[in-house]
Structure 1
Amino acid sequence: MHTISQVNDTSFRTRVLSQNGRPVVVLFTKPGCTACVSARSAVSKFAAAYAGKADVYTADIAMNPQLRATYPRDGVPLVVVFHEGQEVWRRVGGSVKADMISMWVDDLL
């Protein structure tokens, strides 16, 4: 499994919103979320396949109140694809698959 770096309230703007060029995928999770386990597996698989093509992060909304207030309006797990600082795709729930993320990111490469 591929290791995914974390973003927080402080680093989110620099690593995600200010990123130009490569797409950025963020998995929003929280402790105790059982569906987050399968989403993390899919995002990890995607991250391994797209190393150097897309940046991939995870964010724990329990530890980051600013991110919690802004992004997971419909719950977690939440996978969001950003490009040029803008949200371009989102999927809520544990049913997200690596090939699903690939399909949206491929359109941005």
Structure 2
Amino acid sequence: MANFKEIIKSEQPVLVDFFAEWCGPCKKMKPVLENVARTMEGKARILKVDVDKNPKAAAQYKIQGVPTLILFQAGQIKWRQSGYVDAKQLSSVLEKFVN
């Protein structure tokens, strides 16, 4: 598998979910992300990054709380939000960046 930096350089939008296993809202995000991943299949990619297992990535993107969602496209941050986001809102954000 390509490394994180290569993946986020993609022209295809890449939504990264910075999460932690112990986080309640993160657990609520899981089915939302699975649903959005299905509807966006082939148009956008969703990655999950466990902040406890990847502290360097969490520090690099200044993750203060989890879940934090960051949308990358061509290596640039296009959108960022911390906390729970419902499927409708998440899909509408992604739709703005898919070709």
Q: Same fold (TM over 0.5)?
A: yes
Report matched runs for 1:24-39 at 5 Å.
24-39=14-29
The partner residue of 1:90 within 66, 80, 88 is: 80
Large movers: runs of 4+ above 6 Å: none
The partner residue of 1:103 within 92, 96, 99 is: 92
1:75 aligns with 2:75: no
Report the alpha carbon displacement of residue 93 of structure 1 after superposing the two structures with TM.
Answer: 0.9
Q: Secondary structure at the match of 1:108?
A: coil
Deviations 1:82-109 (A, max 9, x none): 1111111111112x01111111111112
Question: For the residues of structure 1 that align with 2:32 and 2:70, how far apart are their CA atoms?
Answer: 13
5+ residue gaps, structure 2:
none
1:49 corresponds to: 39
1:4 corresponds to: none
1:11 corresponds to: 3
How many pairs are equivalent?
98
Question: For the residues of structure 2 that align with 1:104 and 1:51, how far apart are their CA atoms?
Answer: 15
5+ residue gaps, structure 1:
1-6
What's the C-alpha RMSD, in Å, of the aligned pairs? 1.7
Identity %: 29
Question: For the residues of structure 2 that align with 1:55 and 1:61, how far apart are their CA atoms?
Answer: 19
Q: TM-score, normalised by structure 1?
A: 0.81
